[in-house]
């Protein structure tokens, strides 16, 4: 007896007729509202046309943690980060936007036949938490969406409405379960047992039932398998269940492999694996003229020679694959060994460079030794040391020249105090440098190219600068 919750066929037909006769003047609207995870989508449909639609999206769900911020706050652990504050604000803003939209759609809800709403968990507060929105929505027939809804978008709202407004029906087909009658020699107990045997698909019972059917065929030689078109035979069930032995026995008993079931498929097309298909092909190789194998959708015969050839090819293929894997393994080991050797050589080179640097540092610290290979830093240090050495030599040379100059001046002053004016003139002439000596250090300029400054001659630029300073001091 049918349940009262089901709609009778006549009532369903009348509903469909009324739907086809509905006027498309915005007087029979249907509304779809979807909201979840900070997404909202709303559409107003007049038949298959969209009258109005609107979508919103706000960041309200905590990243990688799921759950809205309000749900997290309800647990008592209130966060005070910038992200949590932003999510709270977005949640309130989204609620305000949705409620304002529903209030603005009040004319649509007044002429709406029904409204399909998807708002799981606390998302319903967004639609019904408000006097205005609650009064607007409850003015029409509210229905839940009996489908799996993905992220609320305009495309998803269209898909949901399309599935809700489509009618799917199927014609009642005859059952695939068949029983084979027994002859009069079967006892009454066996007859009652035979009537209760039915063929089940994809289960262990189907195999046992098909075995019983095979036994009945063996006992009743005069009974042939059903040959009518578009019906399921035990051969269909055996092929679909994956029992190769039972399939072969049914073929040997004479069941027609050309018969198609209600869906137009032969037993070969229902084979669940390759072994079942090979069973049909082997039987075809032994009985080429028994059936129309083209009508049975069996592509070709499978002989023993073909199977041996296929096995040999597969073995050769496996051997090549194994050899290739072995070669790749050997290449991998060689590559790893080469990389290790490179790393070892690199480490040795680094160690040798370090030892050479240390040796160079030791050689630079020894006087009179100059390293063959120097780093840029060592070269700079050597240049700085050379510059300091030259400056020290120049200072020493200037000091010696100054001492000689002071000695000459002291001798000159002593000569002036102990002699007459002519004698002083003669001593001054003796102390004065001649034309072939340096004006600063009185060194001989014989064999040298002197440096000239005014009427003075110098053996070097150092003496020239020193004499210039002495003249300025005087």
User: What tokens were used for 187?
Assistant: 């006892």
Closest CA to 42 of 29, 59, 61: 29
Closest CA to 178 of 221, 234, 125: 234
- Phi, psi dihedrals of residue 96, rounded to the nearest 5°: -65, -45
Query: First vs last Cα of the chain: how many Å apart?
Result: 140
Q: How far apart (Å, rounded) are the C-alpha atoms in residues 47 and 162?
A: 10
Q: What secondary structure does DSSP assign to 370-408, as a single string? A: --SS--HHHHHHHHHHHHHHHHHHHHHHHHHHHHHHHHH
**Which helix (H) or strand (E) element contains residue 305?**
helix 304-365
Beta partners for 55? Answer: 41
User: Do residues 85 and 73 touch, judged by C-beta distance below 8 A?
Assistant: no
User: Do residues 22 and 136 touch, judged by C-beta distance below 8 A?
Assistant: no
∠ at Cα 259 (232, 270), nearest 5°?
Answer: 65
Q: How far apart (Å, rounded) are the C-alpha atoms in residues 275 and 428?
A: 134
∠ at Cα 112 (111, 113), nearest 5°?
Answer: 120
Closest CA to 144 of 295, 25, 33: 33
Instruction: Report CA-CA distances (Å) from 219 to 193, 212, 236.
Output: 16, 11, 21
Give one word for 222, left, alpha or beta, with left for phi > 0 and alpha for psi -120 to 50. Answer: alpha
User: What tokens were used for 310?
Assistant: 């296929």
Count of CB atoms situated within 10 Å of the CB of 108: 21
Closest CA to 267 of 291, 289, 302, 303: 291
- Residues catalogued as catalytic: 69
Q: How far apart (Å, rounded) are the C-alpha atoms in residues 266 and 239?
A: 10
User: Do residues 273 and 242 touch, judged by C-beta distance below 8 A?
Assistant: yes
User: What tokens were used for 147?
Assistant: 């489908």
Token look-up 């898909």 returns 159
Please tell me the number of Cα atoms within 13 Å of 15 on its side-chain side: 9
Instruction: Report CA-CA distances (Å) from 143 to 108, 118, 137, 448.
Output: 16, 9, 11, 120
């Amino acid at each position: 007896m049918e349940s009262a919750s089901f709609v009778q066929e006549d009532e369903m037909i009348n509903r469909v007729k009324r739907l086809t006769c509905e006027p498309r003047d915005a007087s029979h609207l249907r509304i779809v509202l979807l909201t979840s995870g900070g997404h909202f989508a709303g559409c107003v449909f007049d038949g298959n046309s969209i009258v109005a639609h609107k979508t919103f999206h706000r960041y309200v769900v905590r990243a990688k943690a799921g759950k809205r911020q309000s749900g997290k706050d309800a647990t008592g652990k209130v966060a005070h980060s910038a992200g949590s504050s932003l999510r709270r604000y977005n949640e309130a803003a989204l609620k305000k936007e949705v409620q304002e939209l529903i209030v603005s759609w009040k004319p649509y809800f007044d002429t709406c036949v029904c409204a399909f709403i998807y708002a799981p968990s606390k998302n319903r507060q967004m639609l019904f938490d408000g006097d205005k929105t609650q009064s607007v929505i409850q003015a029409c027939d509210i229905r839940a969406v009996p489908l799996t809804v993905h992220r609320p978008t305009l495309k998803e709202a269209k898909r949901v409405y399309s599935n809700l407004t489509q009618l799917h029906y199927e014609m009642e087909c005859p059952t695939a379960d068949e029983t084979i009658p027994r002859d009069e020699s079967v006892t009454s107990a066996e007859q009652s047992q035979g009537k209760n045997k039915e063929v089940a698909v994809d289960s262990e019972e189907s195999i046992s039932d098909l075995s019983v059917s095979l036994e009945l065929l063996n006992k009743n030689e005069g009974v042939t398998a059903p040959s009518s078109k578009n019906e399921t035979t035990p051969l269909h069930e055996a092929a679909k269940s994956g029992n190769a032995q039972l399939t072969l026995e049914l073929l040997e008993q004479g069941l027609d492999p050309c018969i198609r079931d209600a869906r137009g498929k032969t037993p070969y097309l229902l084979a669940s694996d390759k072994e079942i298909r090979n069973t049909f092909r082997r039987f075809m190789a032994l009985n080429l003229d028994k059936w129309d194998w083209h009508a049975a959708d069996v592509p070709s015969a499978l002989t023993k020679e073909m199977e041996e050839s296929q096995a040999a090819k597969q073995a050769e293929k496996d051997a090549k694959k194994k050899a290739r894997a072995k070669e790749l393994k050997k290449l991998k080991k060689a590559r790893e060994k080469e990389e290790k050797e490179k790393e070892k050589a690199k480490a040795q080179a680094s160690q040798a460079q370090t030892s050479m640097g240390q040796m160079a540092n030791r050689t630079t610290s020894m006087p009179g030794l100059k390293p063959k290979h120097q780093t840029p830093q060592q070269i700079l240090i050597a240049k700085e040391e050379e510059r300091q050495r030259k400056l020290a030599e120049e200072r020493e040379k200037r000091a010696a020249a100054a001492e000689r100059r002071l000695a000459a001046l002291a001798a000159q002053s002593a000569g002036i105090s102990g002699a007459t004016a002519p004698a002083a003139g003669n001593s001054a002439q003796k102390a004065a440098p001649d034309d072939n000596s340096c004006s600063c250090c009185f060194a001989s300029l014989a064999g040298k190219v002197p440096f000239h400054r005014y009427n003075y001659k110098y053996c070097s630029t150092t003496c020239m600068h020193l004499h210039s300073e002495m003249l300025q001091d005087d």
